Each structure stands twice: as C-alpha cells, then as structure tokens.
C-alpha cells in the first residue's frame, strides 16, 4: 500500500517509473486498448473543496482502468463533515468501502492526519495551501513531454506564490534534477513563505526572487503562472488589492524563447490574457489532459499494480 501525500516522498527512481507508466497509459488511451488493471476495485473521491480537473480526471482514470467510483463533491456540506465528523472517522469509513481514497481538503496537513488511521492507500488531491502532489507529478510529466528533458531548465513561477500548493509540490520534484534554476516572480504580498525560501537556501537550490513578471521572461524555458487564490484571503478588499498585479499578456510572448512553454494548473481567471491561449507555447490545456494519464499511473502506483 502506497499513500501519495507529499511530493517530498518521491525518490528520482519513483519519478522515472511514474513517468514511464504515464507514457504507457497515454499510449493505451490513444490506441483505445486500455488494460483493465483496476477491475473489481473501488476508488473513493471525496472533495471538501471545489474541483474540475483533479476530481474528474481521477474518476475518468478509475473508469478507464475498469474500477468503479464512489464520490462526494462539496463534501463540507454533503458529507457528515457537515455534522461535525472528524476527518479521521471519515477516512476510517471510506477505507472500509473503497480500495483507494482520494481526498481534497482546505486545511493544510489534513492528509497527514488521515494517513495515520488509513488502512487503504490515500491520495492527496490538494490540502489547503500546502501541497498538490498529483498536480506536481503531472506538471513534471508535461515538462518532460514538452522539453524532452527535466534538467538544465529555467523555471519561472508567477503570481500568487504564497498560496500556490502546486508550486510547493513541483519545486521539490524538479530540484531532484541537475541544473534547474527557479525564478519566483510575485508582488511582495504574494511572495513565497520565508521558511520555504530558507529551506531552498540551506540546501543550495539555485533560485532568484523578483517583483517583476517581465524582467526574467527572456531567460525562461517554463513560465508557470498561478491564480490569485481568492478563497485563501481573509476578505474581499485584501484580494482586490493584489488580484490584477501580475497578468501575462499577449505582448509578453515576444519576449519569450521560441521553445518556452507557459503552464498553469488551472482554473485561470484573468492572470493570462485569453489571446495567449492560441499561441503554441501555451501548454496549459495539454497539461490538464496529461493529468488523466498521470492519475491512471498513480492509481496503479498506489495499489502497487
């Protein structure tokens, strides 16, 4: 049984296996000949926060592999959490019904608490502003597919870095590969937590922080934009003050390398101008599709199949 709680749990050899497996899944999906490796398995998806991609791609992945799905969306209201049930009790119950349990929760650290009582594999589908490891893995797969390498890349993260859980899962994965340098591009109000920066410094990770989205664009192989996460702000006013500070516009494309890619975990609101979508370097819809193949691979990984 293998939980997927944090990107930090993966060694490089695990990452290579997952990427290889996802490639097989992609090939099988495209040929229409998918091995039903999860036949007779039940996958539970319980989401205490909204989701389009993560929940529906996990459910699609499960169906494609022959599993059946039990699902609770809007679980803060539609599950017994509404009546005050603890995540530990909910987890125990889900483990008594399903073979693998996928959970999204607004509170950082919830999956670690759930893992203490789980007797079936748990998958973290995002816990607050903490981590989103399956997103990190599909991002890694996307970069490998687009650039044909995971080394010697300049990767810029732009926008709300404070609240981005996808950054906090992708950076630990990419730093396992040599020669990568990170550029953290955000207004002061949305900068990365200082303890995250201190940890990078202490471990000799190459990075720069900048208050400008534009300055470093010519150097980047990957620009990873993030949404300003309204739901994590204490009030509307503090959100409104920062929501439009970092917008990637069509005019910025000319400053980027011809083979650079623009990524975004989605949903995007206005942080990327809509005209950018049609540029071949806009990789975010391809990235979301890759989520299906990677999550098929991850369901097999969790079940040790």
Numbered residues of the known binding site for carbamoyl phosphate: 53-54, 104, 132, 135, 266-267
Among 265, 271, 272, 292, binds ligand CP (CB under 6 A): 265
Identify the DSSP state of 68. E
Of 41, 120, 132, 181, the active-site residue reads: 132
Smallest distance, ligand CP to C-beta of residue 266, A: 5
Among 3, 6, 54, 229, binds ligand CP (CB under 6 A): 54
Instruction: Please classify residue 165 by burial: count the beta carbons closer than 10 Å to its beta carbon, then call 0-12 exposed, 13-18 middle and 19+ buried.
Output: buried
* Dihedral sign from CA coordinates of 280, 282, 287, 288: negative
Nearer to ligand CP, 51 or 176 (CB): 51
Contact window for ligand CP (CB under 6 A) among 48-56, 62-70, 84-92, 167-175:
48-56
Enclosing H/E stretch for 14? helix 12-31
Active site residue 232: no
Give the Cα separation of 254 and 257 in Å (integer).
8
Residue 105 pairs with which residues in a beta bridge? 127
Strands 261-263 and 122-127: unpaired
Work out whether 243 is an interface residue with ligand CP (CB under 6 A).
no
Strands 207-210 and 100-105: unpaired
> What does the angle CA 131 – CA 135 – CA 138 come to, to the nearest 5 degrees?
145
Smallest distance, ligand CP to C-beta of residue 198, A: 27
Nearer to ligand CP, 187 or 291 (CB): 291
Nearer to ligand CP, 142 or 186 (CB): 142
Q: Total binding residues for ligand CP by CB under 6 A?
A: 10
Contact window for ligand CP (CB under 6 A) among 12-20, 51-59, 155-163, 255-263:
51-59
Active site residue 83: yes
> What does the angle CA 14 – CA 7 – CA 129 come to, to the nearest 5 degrees?
165
**Inter-residue contact 162 to 141 (CB < 8 Å):** no
Smallest distance, ligand CP to C-beta of residue 33, A: 28
Of 64, 104, 216, 243, the active-site residue reads: 104
Among 68, 266, 268, 289, binds ligand CP (CB under 6 A): 266
Strand spans (E) along the chain: 42-47, 68-72, 100-105, 122-127, 154-158, 181-185, 207-210, 222-225, 261-263
Among 37, 51, 63, 88, binds ligand CP (CB under 6 A): 51
Active site residue 286: no
Work out whether 135 is an interface residue with ligand CP (CB under 6 A).
yes
Smallest distance, ligand CP to C-beta of residue 298, A: 14
Nearer to ligand CP, 126 or 187 (CB): 126
**Inter-residue contact 227 to 244 (CB < 8 Å):** no
Nearer to ligand CP, 156 or 291 (CB): 291
Nearer to ligand CP, 121 or 265 (CB): 265
> What does the angle CA 213 – CA 219 – CA 224 come to, to the nearest 5 degrees?
50
Smallest distance, ligand CP to C-beta of residue 263, A: 11
Instruction: Pull the structure tokens for residue 32.
Output: 């229409």
Binding stretches for ligand CP (CB under 6 A): 51-54, 126, 132, 135, 265-267
Q: Which residues are catalytic?
A: 53-54, 83, 104, 132
């Amino acid at each position: 049984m293998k939980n997927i709680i944090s990107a930090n749990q993966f060694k490089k050899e695990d990452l290579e296996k997952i990427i290889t497996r996802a490639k097989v899944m992609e090939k099988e999906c495209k040929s229409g000949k998918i091995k039903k490796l999860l036949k007779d398995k039940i996958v539970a998806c319980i989401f205490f926060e909204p989701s389009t991609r993560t929940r529906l791609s996990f459910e699609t992945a499960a169906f494609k592999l022959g599993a059946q799905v039990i699902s609770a969306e809007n679980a803060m209201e539609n599950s017994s959490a509404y009546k005050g049930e603890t995540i530990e009790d909910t987890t125990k119950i889900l483990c008594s019904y399903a073979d693998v349990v996928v959970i999204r929760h607004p509170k950082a650290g919830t999956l670690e608490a759930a893992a203490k009582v789980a007797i079936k594999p748990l998958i973290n589908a995002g816990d607050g502003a903490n981590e989103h490891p399956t997103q990190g893995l599909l991002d890694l797969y996307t970069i490998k597919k687009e650039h044909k390498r995971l080394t010697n890349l300049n990767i810029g993260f732009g926008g709300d870095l404070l609240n981005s859980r996808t950054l906090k899962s992708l950076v630990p994965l990419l730093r396992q590969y040599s020669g990568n340098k990170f550029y953290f591009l955000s207004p002061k109000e949305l900068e990365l937590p200082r303890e995250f920066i201190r940890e990078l410094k202490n471990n000799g990770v190459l990075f720069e922080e900048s208050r400008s989205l534009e300055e470093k664009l010519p150097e980047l192989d990957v620009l990873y934009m993030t949404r300003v996460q309204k739901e994590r702000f204490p009030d509307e006013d503090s959100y409104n003050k920062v929501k439009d500070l970092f917008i990637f516009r069509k005019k910025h494309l000319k400053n980027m390398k011809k083979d650079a890619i623009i990524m975004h975990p989605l949903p995007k609101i206005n942080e990327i101008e809509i005209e950018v979508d049609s540029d071949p370097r806009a990789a975010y819809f391809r990235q979301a599709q890759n989520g299906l193949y990677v999550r098929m691979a991850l369901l097999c990984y969790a079940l040790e199949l």
